[in-house]
Amino acid sequence: MLFKVRPAAKEDCKEISRMIMELSDFEKMTDQVNITHEELERDGFCQNPFFECLVAEVPEEHKSKEGFTVVGYALYFDSYSTWVGRSVFLEDLYVMAEFRGKGIGKGLLSKVAEVGKKKQCVRLQLTVLDWNTPSRDFYAAKGAQDLTASQGSHLLRFDGRDLDNLANEAPED
Amino acid sequence: MLFKVRPAAKEDCKEISRMIMELSDFEKMTDQVNITHEELERDGFCQNPFFECLVAEVPEEHKSKEGFTVVGYALYFDSYSTWVGRSVFLEDLYVMAEFRGKGIGKGLLSKVAEVGKKKQCVRLQLTVLDWNTPSRDFYAAKGAQDLTASQGSHLLRFDGRDLDNLANEAPED
């Protein structure tokens, strides 16, 4: 099937927001999603955007059962390694179920890599859940190293009251 | 001991570079470090910097055995969660061995949280190596959740030839 990968425009945020919900449903964590398309518009399409996004689009004649032509997205941002320098972090990569197995995920991932290389990034990182075998196999087949398995990297998070408490104890300037 | 936490200036990059090497030595991976202070200057002090950095400084009379007054750093950058929005990623947090146990690491971490909150970030994330018990205990005591332990998050990486291969296979615009 023909598909096109292109940079997301502000007008795509409703579609991206819909797919974020679909992905969280797949990951069984919809209760943790608390974002609106207005926030995506504000944070991704401002002066110094917090992220960049690519969308995959199919022609009108191949639209989804529900009538969607934007059928996948890759959302990523600049990051940095103090060992090797410029990096890209891929926050989400998603393709709607009925469009999987057609190379769209690979197209999105490759395009993120290409965009990164153009910015002189030497590394692309992402996280995946251990039970998500299709995704783990997909990335492994393309050469991803699993740093949690190989060197014991653990991902930690502060949020809510814990983050507030930290911030409140910051030393004065 | 009195110490000050302040934003790093371009002139601090030599000191940051020195401490990056010290941290990688502690993590037993000095062979993987390939960055210069010139690259830190270029990437952190440009128009749209790839990272921000705080340094911890002690008064001249408390300088290190080798004569250093910049004794710790926290290097971080903006990131983004498609579930909750603006986030901060803490790439490195380091305090020189002879200055540990004095609240300097806590001061740096709290300041990063404060900077993040000012940008409306609702999350602070980082990675830690599983054998690094002092660091894991330090973060756990301050309320960090371990997402690798609790939900099975694995960190994946593409670099070198694998990243090149991906980029070379990107669909045309």
Q: What is the pLDDT of residues B39-57, one digit of tens each?
A: 999 999 999 999 999 999 9
Classify the C-alpha dihedral B67-B69-B72-B74 as positive or negative.
Answer: negative
Grade residue B1 by pLDDT with cuts at 50, 70 and 90.
low
In a domain, B128, yes or no: yes
DSSP B165: H
Identity of residue B116? G
In a domain, B166, yes or no: no
In a domain, A35, yes or no: yes
Q: What are phi and psi of B66, to 5 degrees?
A: -85, 0
The per-residue pLDDT for range B113-159, each reduced to its tens digit, is: 999 999 999 999 999 999 999 999 999 999 999 999 999 999 999 99
The per-residue pLDDT for range A56-102, each reduced to its tens digit, is: 999 999 999 999 999 999 999 999 999 999 999 999 999 999 999 99
What mean pLDDT is predicted for residues A137-160?
97
Name every chain B residue with its beta carbon within 8 A of the beta carbon of A6: 173
Take residue B9 and report the two structure tokens written for it.
């200036």
* pLDDT computed for residue B27 by the predictor: 85
In a domain, B88, yes or no: yes
Q: Catalytic: B139?
A: yes
Count Cβ atoms within 10 A of the Cβ of residue B146 and give its class: 0-12 exposed, 13-18 middle, 19 or more buried.
middle
Task: Please measure the distance between the N-terminal and C-terminal CA atoms of chain B and give it in whole angstroms.
Answer: 58
| pTM of the model as a whole | 0.96
CATH of the domain at B136: 3.40.630.30
**How many distinct structural domains can be found in chain B?**
1
ipTM of the complex: 0.95
Take residue A113 and report the two structure tokens written for it.
């890599």
Name every chain A residue with its beta carbon within 8 A of the beta carbon of B149: 154
Q: What are phi and psi of B57, to 5 degrees?
A: -125, 140
Task: Please measure the distance between the N-terminal and C-terminal CA atoms of chain A and give it in whole angstroms.
Answer: 57
**Taking 90 as the threshold, does the pLDDT of residue A108 lie above it?**
yes
Neighbouring residues of B124: CB distance < 8 A, sequence distance ≥ 6: A157, A158, A159, A163, A166, B87, B88, B89, B90, B112, B113, B116
What mean pLDDT is predicted for residues B84-109?
97
In a domain, A162, yes or no: no
φ/ψ bin of B101: left (φ > 0), alpha (ψ from -120 to 50), beta (otherwise)? left
* pLDDT computed for residue A95 by the predictor: 97
In a domain, B156, yes or no: no
Interface of B with A in 9-68 (CB under 8 A): 20, 23-24, 29, 32-35, 39-40, 43-44, 48, 50-51
Name every chain A residue with its beta carbon within 8 A of the beta carbon of B146: 154-156
**Taking 90 as the threshold, does the pLDDT of residue A11 lie above it?**
yes
Side-chain-side CA neighbours of residue A165 (13 Å): 11
CB A125, CB A90: distance < 8 Å? yes
In a domain, A164, yes or no: no
Give the chain A residue whose CA is nearest to the CA of B24.
A83
Do the strands B85-95 and B123-129 form a parallel or antiparallel pair, or are they unpaired? Answer: parallel
Average pLDDT, chain B: 96
Residue B115's domain spans which residues?
4-146
In a domain, A159, yes or no: no
